[in-house]
Amino acid sequence: MPEITYSITFYLMAAIAVAAALGVIILRDVFRAALSLILLFMTVAGIYLLLHADFLAIVQILIYVGAISVLIIVAIMLTRDARQGQPLGKIKWVAGIVALALIGVIAWGVINTAFYLSSTPPLEETVKPLGNLLFGNPGYMLTSEIAAVLLLSAILGAIAVIREK
């Protein structure tokens, strides 16, 4: 992909992502906010693709768009009063200013830093090396195992929290 197309695609995706994220916060109708969230997930998947992380992009779509979003929407459907969301809080202006300041600080950091750039070209095939990295040694085997335990504890916790009193 030529440099210019690449850049245009990236900034387009990024702009949509930011707009979608703003939509999630600003839209009063929770259902629409959830749809906006799905859009956000999809643009993020697009950015993964641009970064040659094709497997990650697919996983992003499968899990976030496929599973998590559906879960959110079902939850909204089941809850009577949550549908009509709340207006922004009392401190929205102050919060807005602080959020802008935070963005400013972070942007300043991003712009003024010479980030570490890898010299190796992107991999053509990602699934196998990723698998090796996650479950091989040397690799992130231990971390993956901890993540598995994390899921277990989340399930246990969920069962305990939703129990009948």
Partner 1 sequence: MPMQVPWLIFLLPFLSFLMIGLVLRPFLPRYPRLAGYVTIGAVGISCALSFWVLGAVISSPGHMLPVDDIRWAVVGNLEMHIGVMVDSLTAVMVVVVTFISLMVQIYSQGYMKGDPGYMRYYAFMSLFTACMLGLVLANNILFMFVFWEGVGLGSYLLIGFWFHKPSAANAAKKAFIVTRFGDLGFLAAILILFATTGTFDTGEIYKLVAAGTLTGTTLTWVAIGIFAGACGKSAQFPLHVWLPDAMEGPTPVSALIHAATMVAAGVFLVARFYPIFSHSPEAMLVVAVIGAFTAIFAASIGFVMNDIKRVLAYSTISQLGYMMLGLGVGGVAIGIFHLFNHAFFKALLFLGAGSVNHSSGTFDMRLMGGLRKSMPWTYITFVIGSLSLAGIWPLAGFWSKDEILMNAFSNNPTLFVLALITVFMTAFYMFRAVFMTFHGEYKGGAPSEHGDHDEHPQGPHESPAVMVVPLVILAVMAVCSGWINVTGFFNGLFEGDVEGAVHKIGFLEGFFGTLTHPLPLASLLIALAGIFLAFAIYIKKWISAEKITNAVRPLYTLLSHKYYMDDLYENVIVKTFLYNGLFKLFAMFDTSVVDGTVNGTASAASSAGSALKKLQNGQTQVYAFTIALGVVAIAVVVYLFG
Partner 2 sequence: MIMEHIQFIAPEISLLCFALLIVLLDLFITQKRVLPVLSVIGAIVAATFIIVIWNTPPVGLFDKMISIDPFGLFFKLLILAATVLVILASHNYVLKFNKFQGEYYALLMLSAVGLMLLVSAINLITIYVALELSSISLYALVSFLKDKKSSEAGLKYLILGGVASAILLYGMAFIFGLTGNTCLTCIAEYVRGMPFKDLQEVPALMIGLVLIIAGFGFKIASVPFQMWVPDVYEGAPTTITAYLSVASKAAGFGVIARVLMTVFGLPVWLHNDWAMIIAVLAAITMTVGNLVAIVQTNIKRLFGYSSIAQAGYMMVGLAAMGLTMGTKENVTGGLIFFLLSYTLTNLGAFIAIIAISNKINSDEIEDYNGMIKRSPLLALGLTICLISLAGLPPTAGLIAKIYIFSGAVNMGLAWLVVIAVINSVISAYYYFKIAKAMWLGTPVTEEKVDASWPEWLALAACVVGVLALGVVPGLFMNLTTAAVRIFGI
Which spans of this chain sit near partner 1 (rule: CB under 8 A)?
79, 81-82, 86, 89-91, 94-95, 98-99, 101-102, 105, 162-165
90 touches which of partner 2, partner 1, none (CB within 5 to 8 A by kind)? partner 1
91 touches which of partner 2, partner 1, none (CB within 5 to 8 A by kind)? partner 1
- For the CB of residue 139, give the shortest distance to partner 2 in the complex, in Å: 7
Residue with Cβ nearer partner 2 (8 or 106)? 106
- For the CB of residue 4, give the shortest distance to partner 1 in the complex, in Å: 35
Exposure class string for 34-44: b at 16+ Cβ within 10 A, else e: bbbbbbbbbbb
Give CA–CA dist 165/161, Å, rounded.
9
2 touches which of partner 1, partner 2, none (CB within 5 to 8 A by kind)? none
